[in-house]
Amino acid sequence: MSTLLGHNFIGGARSALGQSQHQSLDATTGEALPYSFVQATDGEIDAAAQAAKAAFPEFRQLSPARRAEFLDAIADELDQLGDDFVAIVCQETALPQARIQGERGRTSGQMRLFAQILRRGDYLGARIDLPLPDRKPLPRVDLRQYRIGVGPVAVFGASNFPLAFSTAGGDTAAALAAGCPVVFKAHSGHMATADLVGQAIIRAAERTGMPKGVFNMIFGNGVGEGLVKHPAIQAVGFTGSLGGGNALCKMAAERPQPIPVFAEMSSINPVIILPQALDARSETIAKDLAASVAMGGGQFCTNPGLVIGLRSPAFTAFLEQLAGQIDGQGPQTLLNAGGLRSYSKGVEHLLAHSGVTHLAGKVQDGKQAQSQLFKADVSLLLNGDELLQEEVFGPTTIAIEVADDAELQKALLALRGQLTATLIGEPADLSGYQWLLPLLEDKVGRILVNGYPTGVEVCDAMVHGGPYPATSDSRGTSVGTLAIDRFLRPVCYQNHADALLPPALQNANPLGLRRLVNGEWSDQPIA
């Protein structure tokens, strides 16, 4: 395994000019691990951003095939991180070995998927309108458009996915695929993991001849503000809390040159259980839902935090079944002590609320999280109570009973933006409740039927986004190939000589792209 230096990654070299250090911790015991990381100085933050800026002109002009080679090399390096690496990730996060091994495969697979996108070429969005010199009353000139990277991207990794949403995660993969160098802010919860993954990226960059500043990484507290405000940075990717995302959005908006922040933040992911489904399979639903709530200590942004059902004896019986399943979930170690404190505080707030009843779950104390089930009066949601809108990051869910379809509609309209919404129903339910779909489309990024939201497939069709506060910009996704769109912008070329055009727009179509030519799709050269 590579040596853990604990130094910042700047322009292809390691740098440690800071005077303070941060210690990696064992997530289970809280004890210090033998890995320390040097706080980045203001000068190092500037140097990292400048290195990314210097790399951008060369990196973005590389052919898609060359950038794809780089991403494939990163994937290969990730796959070669062995058992010693997995053991360190498990130490820093308290996540089980099988989970980390699976996440490593997801992360390398994500890199390879973006490499496929580059070779496919459709992300370029090539459009060509040929000249119409004889058009009346005015002729049309030659116009051609495609998309380029926006520039250096600052990426903030998530605590709950130390690989797939962190150093070499989806934001990094999408930015690199778009031709944007990255400055990554290492997460304090898994700094050793970040260091080893950063080394893997640098090895891949060196092996494939990438410019030295294509990937940079800084360690430390309070370094994010200097990074987001740096004039070289042109976009931000963030996965984390609502407060953190809002703060970054404010910083970015107040810059002399405002830049976009693509922040994935807070979601309670409602699950709506329809009547005939309860009649047909309530025990199975209770078991599967409880498993989804407790999965990974509830530390998923898609964790089902709200369960809604229509008032009936069947729903009352279902809540009893769900309570039994929640009581049967064992205690779990969370990612870090701060996460446990936050979770315990969230549970305390629910227990103290007069409109909320505790239905299941052991007393929340000690060093592990206990799964919990609460029931809240629907009036809290209808009247805008913040407690019913806020994510409790951990293995907890809240049930709400509505009187009828009209109250169900009001309850859903009262919800803020979400990543997901789930319908559990039989065919007759789904037919009778089709009216829910347009309502949910306005609220969420992904609508599930008879599944649970904690699985997020990495593919072309996935949307992992949604209206605020689920994300800061509902027009994109942080998972799947559409994630590349966040870091691209269109450029139009008017009356350019063919030889001066980028290959994607040249008459011969040397990249073999499917292009929109005079309003029709074609992969043929232009005669």
Degrees (nearest 5) of the Cα angle 412, 413, 415?
65
Task: State how far the alpha carbon of 91 is from the alpha carbons of 100, 167, 189, in Å.
Answer: 11, 17, 11
Task: State how far the alpha carbon of 191 is from the alpha carbons of 3, 82, 318, 488, 517, in Å.
Answer: 13, 17, 43, 29, 49
Rounded distance between C-alpha atoms, residue 212 and residue 12, angstroms: 5
Peptide bond into 162 cis (omega under 30): no
Per the listing, tokens 């319908």 go with 423
Q: What are phi and psi of 457, to 5 degrees?
A: -70, 140
Contact 240, 156 (CB under 8 A): yes
DSSP tag of 435: T
Single out the residue of 211, 217, 173 nearest to residue 195, CA to CA: 217
| Exposure letters 111-135 (e unless 16+ CB within 10 A, then b) | bbbbbebbebbebbbbbbbeeeeee
Single out the residue of 424, 378, 383, 386 nearest to residue 403, CA to CA: 378
Distance of CA 55 to the CA centre of its chain: 25
DSSP string for residues in 104-148: HHHHHHHHHHHHHHHHH-GGG--EEE--BTT-SSS-B--EEEEEE
Peptide bond into 181 cis (omega under 30): no
Tokens encoding 63: 């052919």
Rounded distance between C-alpha atoms, residue 337 and residue 343, angstroms: 10
Tokens encoding 289: 């839902």
Single out the residue of 346, 398, 393, 347 nearest to residue 375, CA to CA: 398
Distance of CA 320 to the CA centre of its chain: 34
Rounded distance between C-alpha atoms, residue 370 and residue 340, angstroms: 10
Rounded distance between C-alpha atoms, residue 263 and residue 279, angstroms: 40
> Strand locations in 172-233, DSSP E?
182-185, 215-218
DSSP 3-state assignment of 80? coil
Give the active site residues: 264, 301
Residue 28, number of CB atoms within 10 A of its CB: 15
